[in-house]
Amino acid sequence: MKLNVGGIDRVMRIGVGFALVPWALMGGPLWAWIGVIPLVTGVVGFCPLYPLVGIRTCPAKN
């Protein structure tokens, strides 16, 4: 599994996840649990959808 989520993308994903998951925990709407996905992909640095659509925000290592 190669990293494919770069710096700004990771920060944004983690931020969205940290906003949505606590909201869901505090009784927010059920759809707020979708925040788990950007949180995990941001922390891990890999998005399984990116290779399917040919996106890579992480700089290539030479």
Domain ranges, ordered by start, for the chain: 7-53
**Cα-based angle 57, 48, 56 (whole degrees, multiple of 5):** 15
How many other CB atoms sit within 10 Å of the CB of residue 41? Answer: 21
Q: Find the mean pLDDT for residues 24-32.
A: 97
Q: Find the mean pLDDT for residues 10-19.
A: 97
| C-alpha to C-alpha distance for 17 and 35, rounded to whole angstroms | 4
What is the pTM (predicted TM-score) of this model? 0.87
Is a pLDDT exceeding 80 seen at residue 61? no
